[in-house]
Amino acid sequence: MKVAAEHEPVTTERVRTEEGGIKQTSNIQRGFASHHRLFNQKFNIPGVVPSTAVSCSLTEVDASQTPVFGLATLHLYNVSPANGAVFVRAEIDWDTDLPIRFDFNIN
């Protein structure tokens, strides 16, 4: 299994939604990395602690970081918040590294 170097998220958005009278602010963090097969990746995200609710999605991107619906299958196995970071275990079913975008929804 490949263990990747740390990677800094590159963008942050705050999204406000209202459902059933409940207002919620989500913190969206976005990071990019290239991988293939099974790997672990650490993303440094200030403010995250082990009790933070974090969800993650992955998508293949092209050279301009635009999402593409490629031929490889992407599997997300674990998302684990830690002090100032989020650890991800995932798998890219491809023989060479592919550029991947990681989107984190942090509540």
Give phi and psi for 90, each to the nearest 5: -150, 175
At the topology level, CATH places domain 2-106 in: Immunoglobulin-like (2.60.40)
Q: Cα(106)–Cα(47) distance, rounded to whole angstroms?
A: 10
Answer whether residue 103 shows pLDDT above 60: yes
Judged on CB neighbours under 10 Å (0-12, 13-18, 19+), 50 is: exposed
Sign of the C-alpha dihedral computed for residues 33, 62, 57 and 37 taken in this order: negative
Q: What is the pLDDT of residues 21-80, one digit of tens each?
A: 655 566 889 999 999 999 999 999 999 999 999 999 999 999 999 999 999 999 999 999
If pLDDT is split at 50, 70 and 90, which confidence band does 86 have?
very high
In this prediction, residue 74 carries a pLDDT of: 98
In this prediction, residue 107 carries a pLDDT of: 85
In this prediction, residue 1 carries a pLDDT of: 56
**H or E element: which one contains 43?**
strand 37-44
3-state secondary structure of 20: coil
In angstroms, how far is CA 26 from the centroid of its own chain? 14
Q: Cα(3)–Cα(82) distance, rounded to whole angstroms?
A: 17
In angstroms, how far is CA 31 from the centroid of its own chain? 6
In this prediction, residue 10 carries a pLDDT of: 45
